[in-house]
Amino acid sequence: MAVGETVQVAPRDPDPDAEYRWRIKAAPVSSQLSLGDDPVVDFTPDAAGTFVLELTGPLGVDELTIRVFPGELAPAGRGAGSSGASGQSGMSGVSGVSGGSGISGVSGASGSGSGARGAKREGSGGRPRVTLHGRVKGDTVVVEADPQPNPNSSTPREELDVEFLVDDRWPVDDSKVEIDGWTLTMPKDAFEEKTRVHAVAIDAEYSVADAVEIRVEGTTVDFGDGARTDGGVATQSPGAKQVETGRLYEPPEWSKDITLYEIYVRGFASDDDEAENTFAAIEKRLDYLEGLGVDCLWLTPVLENDHAPHGYNIVDFYDVAADLGDMEAYQHFVDAAHDHGMKVLFDLVLNHSAREHPFFKDAYKNPDSEYYDWYEWQDNGEPGTYFDWEYIANFDHHSLEVRRYLLDAVQQWFEIVDGFRCDMAWAVPFTFWQELRDRVKSQDPDFLLLDETIPYIADFHEGMFDMHFDTTLYFTLRQVGEGHQPADAILDAIDQRTEVGFPDHASFMLYQENHDETRYIVECGDEAAFASAGALFTLPGVPMLYGGQEIGQRGRRDALAWDHAREEVQEHYEHLIETRKRTPALDFRGGIDRVDYEADSEQVTVFRRAAKGQSVVVVLNFGDAPEYVEVDAHVDGTNLVSGENVVDDGTIEVESVVVLEER
C-alpha cells in the first residue's frame, strides 16, 4: 500500500469472545503512528517503509508486515481511505472506489529499492503490470518477473523497476535470497515446506502485485488446475526435495472457456405449475441449457429474504428461501447441474442484510442491543446504506461478530457450490475478501471467485478475485448500440483493461445485460443486439447470458416467455456458442489486434483473434442494414458462424457478425 491509504487489518478466523490487541512493533523512523484498542483497526501509514504490526490474541502473538510506498507512487485516483475499508455510508451515484494493494504479510526483500523514490517519472501514463514465472532449476528456485509499462507510458520497458517481497508467514532464510534486477533466486534449502514470492512493477506508480507459491511436493494443498505451473517439478534423484511452483492469481482452468448463464430464480421457470418447487422447475430445464452449450449457472440469491423478488435483501444467511424450496431441493438441483456437466455459482451478499433481518430489527434505535455494533449508523440514527436503498442496512466489518457470522455462512455454501458471484464487492473491505479467498482456495484451489465491481478495480485481482465483471465493455456496448459511439469503441474498452492496470492473466466476464439492466434488445434494437452478442463470443473473456437473452425476452425480471421464444435469436446464440467452442483462435488467452479496414459506416469494427496456431478476423456490424467491408488481411470466404460464403472479390458482406479464418 502507499502512505495516506487505509487498510482494515483484523484477526483472521476470529473468536468474537476473545480479546485481541494490536500494537506497532516496528516502523520507519519518521512515523508517529499509534493504534487504538479495537480488534479491527483502520491502518493509515504516515511514512514510507516497512511496518510490523503485532497482534496479541487467544493463540498467542502474531505479526503482520506491511510494505508502504511513498504516497507519490500510489495509483492515480486512489485517495486516502480507499484501500481496504468499505465505502462511505449514504453514497449515491458513486459505485466503487479503488482499493489497496493487499501486499501485507510479506517481508521487505527489495529488488531495486525503488520504493524509496519520492517523485513520479515524467510521462509514465499510468500503472505498469507484472507477471511472475516460477521454475525449479536443479537445487535452485528461480522467480522471474515480466514487467510491462502502461500502454500510455513513455517509459521503456527495460527501465521499469521490480520490487520483490518474500512472504514471512513461513520460515525463510532471507540471507539465501538473491535478487538481480527482475529475477529472484533461492536454494531449496532456504525454506521448509513452502513460501510465497510477491512482486510489483514500479514506474511512476506501482502495479497490482503478482505472486507465486513455492512448495515441497505433497506437503500442502495442490495448486489445482487454476494455477500455472511454470517449470513444474525439478528432475532429481529419489529422496531429494521435490519442489514445484505455481502462480497464485491464475483463474481456475475450467472457468476460462465456459459460457456462463444467469438465472433469475423467480422468473426463469415460473411457468411450471407442476414442479414441487422452484429448484425442481429450473432443474427440468437443465437439458435445454446443456443443449444450448451452457457450462456454468449463476443463480440470483436463493436465501431467505424480505420477499423482494430479486432476493438481495437477506434475512437469513444460512437457509434457503421457503418460496423456492428447501436445502435438500437446492442440493438436489446443484447435483443435477453437475450431472449435466455444469458448475454452479452462489450469489454471495456480504455487504448488508435486509432491514427485516431479526438482528437489525433488534438493533434499530436500540444502542443497548447486542447487535447494534453489527451495523453502520448515520448521525440521524438511520443505518448506513448505498444509493439511498431503503430496505437494506450495511454491516460494519469492524465487528468480529459480523466477520464470524459471514465467514461461517461462506463455509456452509462453499461446501455445496463451485464458486461465488460476489455482490457489491467494492463495498466490502479488501482484507475480508483476502481472508475469504485464502479460506476457500486452501480447501479447493479450483473454486471460482467472481466480483461485481462498478467500475471494475484492478487491485481486486490481487489475492481476492479470479474473474471480474467487464463493466467498461458493458457500458460501451450500450453506447455503440444506441449510436452514441462508433463500433471501434469496443476495442478501446478492451484496451482499457491494461490501461487501468489489470495484469495480463486477469479474467473478465462479458455481458450486455443482467437482472439490474434493461434488456439490450429493447434499448438498442434487434440488429445491434445480434452484433453485441457476436462481441460477447469473440472478444477475450468469458461470455455471460442473462436468462431469456437467447430467446429475445424483453422484460427485465418478468417470467420468461418460453412459448414466444424467437427462433432466429435462439439460433444465433447457438451458432455463436458453438463457434467459440470449436474455434481455437477465440480461446480465452487468444491475442487481439486491430485490423485496418474500409467501410462506409462507423457502426462497423474489425479485429483479429489468434491462438493455438489459428488466426481469425472478426467483423461486427451494429447497424440496421448489411455493410460491405474491405480488410487488410487474407481470409477464407466462409463465415464460421453461419457457414455461408460472405466474401465476394475481396469484399466482406456483414449483417451482424462474421468470423473468417485467416490464410
Active site residues: 423, 452
- Write out the three cell numbers for 647: 466474401
Radius of gyration of the chain (CA): 26
Q: Can you tell me the distance from the alpha carbon of 234 to that of 231, in angstroms, rounded to the nearest whole number? A: 8
Determine contact, residues 626/646, Cβ cutoff 8 Å: no
d(C-alpha 484, C-alpha 165), whole Å: 46
Helix axes 567-582, 526-538, angle to 10 degrees: 20
CA distances to 537, 631, 644 from 583, rounded to whole Å, are: 11, 20, 16
Spatial separation of the C-alpha atoms in residues 211 and 457, rounded to whole Å: 18
* C-alpha cell recorded at residue 645: 460464403
- Give Cα separations from 250 to 39, 132, 450 (angstroms): 32, 11, 13
Alpha carbons 184 and 214: distance in angstroms, whole number: 12
- The count of other CB atoms within 10 Å of the CB of residue 35 is 15
CA 469 to chain centre: 7
CA distances from 440 to 233, 291, 470 (A): 25, 31, 24
Phi, psi of 65 (to 5 degrees): -100, 130
Beta bridge partners, 661, equal 616
β-strand pairing of 343-349 with 21-26: unpaired
> What is the spatial distance between Cα 246 and Cα 134, in angstroms, rounded to a whole number?
7
Q: Which three cell numbers stand for residue 536?
A: 460477447
Q: Helix and strand tally (H, E) in the chain?
A: 11, 33
Residue spans of beta strands (DSSP E) within 217-330: 243-247, 260-263, 296-299, 303-305, 314-320
- Omega before residue 455 within 30° of 0, cis: yes
Coil vs helix vs strand at 172? strand
**Residue 455 burial (CB count, 10 A):** 15
Q: What is the DSSP string of 80-146?
A: TT-SSS---TTB-S-----------SB----SS-GGG--SPPTT--S--EEEEEEEEETTEEEEEEE
